C-alpha cells in the first residue's frame, strides 16, 4: 500500500493549516515519528518531525519529512508538508496511521475481490466510500458492467444507463455528435470533460485501450466532490484494480472487435437483456435483429490448436459473419443468406447467388485442423440466439462422439465436419434420458424387429440390418439404394421382399417406416453415447 502526497495532504487538513512545499507527488508506504539517532527505514517512509532541527536531520539523511508544530506559524521549506496547529505531533501521527489503515484495508478488500473471483460490481461496492462520486463502468458496446449503487445521481444520461443497463441509441448519437469516442480510443490518462455538453456534471474518464479501440471505460460524474488532485489519486487506485478485468476480458487478439465480442458473449449466454435491449445493442454491433441466422460452435480438444490462432483464422474465413470466443469455444454467428431460396444448412452447391457457402469454407477448414463444428437450426430472430448456442454446443459434442466411435451406421450429414443439431436431435434425447428411459423408448415393436434382424445377421453372417436402414433412408428408391450398396436394382426388390416376408413387416406403411428409423437412431445414439 502506498499513499500519494496528494492524499496525505488532503487527509491532514482537518488538523490545522497545511502548507505544501513539494511540487511533486511522491508516494509513501509507511509513517514514522523521527527519533534522533534511531535507525531510519527506507526512503518510501515519511517521517513526522516536531522541530526544524529534526526536519533538517531527516532531510539530510535522504528522507522526506512533515513538519508539525503547535506554536510555529511559518512552514519549513525543507519539509514536503508543514502542519501548523494546536495539537501535539502525536495527534497528527495517529491521524496518519488511521489514514494508512483505512486505505490499506480498502486495498486489501479490492485485492480479495479479484483473488476470490469476484466481479466488477463487487469491486465497485467495496470502493464506493472512497470514490465519493457516482462512478459507472461500461464495456465497448456501452453496456453497464458496474456502478456505485449507494451514490445517487440526477444526471439524465447516467439515470438512463442504470435503468436500461446499457446506453440507448439516442445517447450514443449524442456521444458521436460531440466526438467522445475518439479521445476514449486514443488519449491516455484521465480525460476530464468540463463542457457539460452531455453530462450536467464534470466527468472524469479512464479508458482502457486495445490495439484497435477502447475496451472498458470507467466514468466518474463529479456530482458530490470536484476532481481535485486528491480524488484523482484515489480514483487511480481503483482504476489500477479495474485494469485486471480489462486485460483479462479484452485482450488485444480479438479480431471481431470488442464491442461485437462483448455483445455476442452476453447474447449467447442469455445475458443481453430483453428484446428491445438486444435490438439496441445489436444495432451498435452491426448485427440485424431480423435475418436468416445460423450459429456455429467449434470447441477443440485441449492443445489441438492455439485458441488465438483458431479465432483469428475463423474470423478471417467467415467475414462478414461475426465471431467470438465464449468459454474457450470459437462461436460464429452467420447472417449472410439473403435469399428465400437458401437451402437448409447450405447444402453443397445450393447457394442461389452462386456463392461459396460459409458452411463449405468452414467444413474445409475443420478438415485441415481435424476439428468438429456444431451447427444450430436456422432461426430468424436474434433473440433466439441463446437457444441456438445451446443447440450448436450439443451438435459439436455429438459430432466428437461420432468421430471417436468409428463403428455403426453412417448418419447422413450435408457436410463431413459440420454436425447440425437437426441431425443429432436423437443423440441429445438419448444423452438427456436416464438409462431406464432409453430402454423404454428403445423397446418398441420396430426396435424388437431390428434386434431380431441384428441377431440373425450375426448368426448367418448377413447384413440385413444395414440394408434395411439404407433402404429406408433412401426412401425406398431402388436405384439409389443399388448405387449406394453397389448391387443390381433387381436385387434390392428381392432382398426387401424377403426381409418383409421373414419378419412380417410392411415398409409401405409410413408410420412403421418412421418407427424403424427412430429405432435405428436411438440405437446408434446409445452406442455413440457410450464412447
CATH number, domain of 7, equals 3.40.1390.20
Given 423, 444, 468, which residue is the final one in a domain?
423
| Residue 53 backbone phi and psi in degrees, to 5 | -65, -40
List the domain range (segments joined by +) for residue 514. Answer: 428-529
Considering the domain architecture, whether residues 298 and 342 belong to the same structural domain is answered as yes
Q: Are residues 203 and 264 in the same domain?
A: no
Total count of domains within the chain: 4
Looking at the fold, whether 76 and 126 belong to one and the same domain comes out as no
Q: Do 409 and 450 reside in the same domain of the chain?
A: no
Q: Are residues 154 and 200 both part of a single domain?
A: yes
pLDDT tens per residue across all 531 residues of the chain = 799 999 999 999 998 899 999 999 999 999 999 998 899 999 999 999 999 999 999 999 999 999 999 888 899 999 999 999 877 899 999 999 999 999 999 999 999 999 998 999 999 999 999 999 999 999 877 788 999 998 988 888 889 888 888 887 788 778 877 888 788 877 878 999 998 888 889 999 999 887 656 778 999 999 999 999 999 999 999 999 999 988 887 765 554 445 677 788 889 999 888 898 898 888 878 899 998 899 999 987 765 666 766 887 888 888 788 888 888 899 999 987 766 666 555 655 555 555 677 888 898 888 888 889 999 988 989 999 999 999 999 999 888 887 766 555 555 556 778 988 888 888 777 777 766 666 666 678 888 898 899 899 999 999 999 999 999 988 899 999 999 888 998 999 999 999 999 999 999 999 888 888 888 888 877 776 665
The per-residue pLDDT for 520 is 84
Query: In angstroms, rounded to a whole number, what is the distance separating the alpha carbons of residues 8 and 14?
Result: 11
- What is the reported pLDDT for 111? 94
Whether 419 and 289 share a structural domain: yes
Q: What is the DSSP letter of 301?
A: P
pLDDT of res. 355: 60
Q: Are residues 172 and 129 in the same domain?
A: yes
Residue 339 has what pLDDT? Answer: 62
Please state, in angstroms and rounded to a whole number, the distance separating the CA atoms of residues 387 and 390. Answer: 5
Q: Report the b/e string of 396-413 with b at 16+ CB within 10 A.
A: bbbbbbbeeeeeeeebeb
Q: Which residues pair with 30 in a beta bridge?
A: 45
Q: Are residues 315 and 278 in the same domain?
A: yes
If you write DSSP's letter for every residue of 461-509 in order, what string do you get? T--HHHHHHHHHHTTT-HHHHHHHHTS-HHHHHHHHHHHHHHHT--TT-
Contact 12, 83 (CB under 8 A): yes
Distance CA 18, CA 3 (A): 17
Instruction: Please classify residue 145 by burial: count the beta carbons closer than 10 Å to its beta carbon, then call 0-12 exposed, 13-18 middle and 19+ buried.
Output: buried
CATH number, residue 322: 3.30.70
Q: Which residues pair with 419 in a beta bridge?
A: 374
Same domain, 497 and 517: yes
Longest dimension (CA), the chain: 119
**CATH code for the domain of 492:** 1.10.10
pLDDT at 428: 78
Given 111, 126, 142, the domain boundary residue is 111
**3-class secondary-structure state, position 292:** strand
What is the gyration radius of the CA atoms in the chain, in angstroms? 35
Based on the fold, state whether residues 402 and 336 are members of the same structural domain.
Answer: yes
> Is the domain of 291 the same as that of 343?
yes
Provide the grid cell at 172.
450514443
In this prediction, residue 515 carries a pLDDT of 87
Q: What is the CATH number of the domain that holds 146?
A: 3.30.450.40
Residue 342: per-residue pLDDT? 60
Decide which of 249, 267, 289 is a domain's last residue: 249
Concatenated DSSP letters for 234-281? HHHHHHHHHHHHHHHHS-S--TT-HHHHHHHHHHHTT-S-SHHHHHHH
- Which set of grid coordinates corresponds to residue 211? 490495439
Regarding whether 53 and 143 lie in a shared domain, the answer is: no
Amino acid at each position: 500500500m502506498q499513499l500519494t502526497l496528494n492524499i496525505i495532504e488532503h487527509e491532514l487538513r482537518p488538523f490545522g493549516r497545511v502548507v505544501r512545499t513539494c511540487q511533486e507527488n511522491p508516494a509513501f508506504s509507511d509513517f514514522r515519528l523521527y527519533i534522533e539517532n534511531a535507525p531510519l527505514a527506507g526512503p518510501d517512509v515519511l517521517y513526522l518531525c516536531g522541530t526544524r532541527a529534526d526536519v533538517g536531520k531527516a532531510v539530510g539523511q535522504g528522507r522526506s519529512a512533515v513538519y508539525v508544530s503547535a506554536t510555529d506559524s511559518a512552514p519549513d521549506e525543507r519539509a514536503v508538508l508543514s502542519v501548523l496547529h494546536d495539537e501535539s505531533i502525536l495527534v497528527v501521527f495517529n491521524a496518519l496511521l488511521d489514514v494508512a489503515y483505512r486505505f490499506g484495508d480498502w486495498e486489501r478488500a479490492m485485492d480479495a475481490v479479484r483473488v476470490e473471483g469476484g466481479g466488477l460490481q463487487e469491486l465497485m461496492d467495496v470502493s464506493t466510500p472512497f470514490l465519493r462520486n457516482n462512478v459507472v463502468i461500461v464495456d465497448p458496446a456501452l453496456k453497464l458492467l458496474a456502478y456505485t449503487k449507494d451514490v445517487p445521481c440526477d444526471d439524465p444520461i447516467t439515470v438512463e444507463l442504470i435503468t436500461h443497463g446499457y446506453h440507448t441509441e439516442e445517447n450514443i448519437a449524442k456521444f458521436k455528435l460531440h466526438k467522445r469516442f475518439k479521445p476514449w480510443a486514443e488519449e491516455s490518462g484521465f480525460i476530464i470533460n468540463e463542457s457539460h455538453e452531455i453530462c450536467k456534471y464534470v466527468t472524469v474518464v479512464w479508458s482502457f485501450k486495445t490495439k484497435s479501440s477502447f475496451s472498458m471505460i470507467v466514468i466518474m460524474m463529479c456530482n458530490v466532490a470536484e476532481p481535485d488532485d486528491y480524488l484523482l489519486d484515489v480514483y487511480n487506485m481503483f482504476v489500477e484494480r479495474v485494469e485486471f478485468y480489462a486485460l483479462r476480458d479484452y485482450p488485444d487478439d480479438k479480431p471481431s472487435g470488442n464491442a461485437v465480442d462483448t455483445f455476442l458473449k452476453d447474447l449467447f449466454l442469455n445475458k443481453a437483456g430483453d428484446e428491445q435491449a438486444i435490438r439496441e445493442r445489436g444495432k451498435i454491433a452491426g448485427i440485424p435483429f431480423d435475418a436468416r441466422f445460423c450459429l456455429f460452435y467449434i470447441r477443440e480438444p485441449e492443445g489441438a490448436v492455439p485458441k488465438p490462432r483458431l479465432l483469428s483464422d475463423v474470423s478471417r474465413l467467415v467475414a462478414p459473419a461475426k465471431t467470438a470466443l465464449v468459454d474457450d469455444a470459437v462461436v460464429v454467428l452467420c447472417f449472410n443468406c439473403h435469399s428465400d431460396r437458401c437451402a437448409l444448412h447450405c447444402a453443397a452447391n445450393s447457394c442461389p447467388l452462386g456463392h461459396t457457402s460459409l458452411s463449405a469454407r468452414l467444413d474445409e477448414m475443420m478438415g485441415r485442423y481435424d476439428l468438429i463444428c456444431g451447427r444450430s437450426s436456422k432461426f430468424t430472430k436474434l433473440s433466439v440466439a441463446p437457444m441456438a448456442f445451446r443447440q450448436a454446443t450439443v451438435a459439436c459434442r455429438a459430432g466428437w462422439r461420432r468421430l471417436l466411435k468409428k463403428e455403426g451406421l453412417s448418419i447422413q450429414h450435408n457436410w463431413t465436419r459440420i454436425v447440425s443439431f437437426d441431425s443429432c436431435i436423437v443423440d441429445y434425447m438419448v444423452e438427456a434420458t436416464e438409462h431406464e428411459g432409453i430402454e423404454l423408448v428403445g423397446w418398441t415393436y420396430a426396435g424388437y424387429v431390428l434386434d431380431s434382424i441384428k441377431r440373425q445377421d450375426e448368426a448367418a453372417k448377413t447384413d440385413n440390418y444395414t440394408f434395411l436402414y439404407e433402404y429406408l433412408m433412401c426412401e425406398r428408391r431402388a436405384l439409389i439404394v443399388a448405387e449406394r450398396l453397389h448391387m443390381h436394382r433387381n436385387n434390392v426388390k428381392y432382398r426387401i421382399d424377403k426381409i418383409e416376408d421373414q419378419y412380417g413387416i410392411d415398409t409401405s406403411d409410413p408410420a412403421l417406416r418412421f418407427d424403424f428409423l427412430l429405432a435405428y437412431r436411438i440405437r446408434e445414439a446409445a452406442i455413440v453415447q457410450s464412447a
